Structure 1
Amino acid sequence: MKALSNYSNLYCKTSGLITEASTDWRWNDFHPYLTAALKLFSINRLMYGSDWPVCLMAGTYKDTIDIIIKNLANQLNSQELQKLFGENASEFYQLVK
């Protein structure tokens, strides 16, 4: 991930976390990975991904949101959360606002 983060045109999406974790995952299990992704890609190149409907095999759609909120919300302000939960994806996928 560190090598990939050096490419300014690459973004990191948080998709697939719970489906790749152990079946008894806890929200804080993801903290080191999310913190590392945020550090490497910055808030400008990190985006939320639920992996829906595949995530339903290991949890709920709400779980995918809660994992991000519980692990990163204390590090991010409301504008940064907006980037993470939509604005960065809109920019990356060149969606019209």
Structure 2
Amino acid sequence: MKKLLLLGFALMLSAGLYAQDSKAEKARQDAKKTAGKVATETEKAAEKTGDALTRTANKVDDKAREVHKKKVAKSKDVRQDLNRTATKVEDKATKAADK
């Protein structure tokens, strides 16, 4: 009877240890799945962030080009105005010299 009782306790102990092992294995698998999901989501977020940064950089570049074009156009206008003024002054000087 004692042997049977000891055998029962041994079976219960081994069943308990097996259950703990299977729970631990399941926890490991869940941790791997979760880590994989987190890594995937992190990669997706990084791609979105990278895309957003690229779009922002492109917008900044476009704006800089636009500002540069405006400045160049303005400087051309200023140069043309100066040339016109210089021409007018030369014409007046020529007329004054001719008199």
Q: Which has the larger radius of gyration?
A: 2
The two structures have a TM-score, normalised by structure 2, of 0.17
More strand by percentage: 1
Structure of higher RCO (CA pairs closer than 8 Å, 6+ residues apart) = 1
The two structures have a TM-score, normalised by structure 1, of 0.17
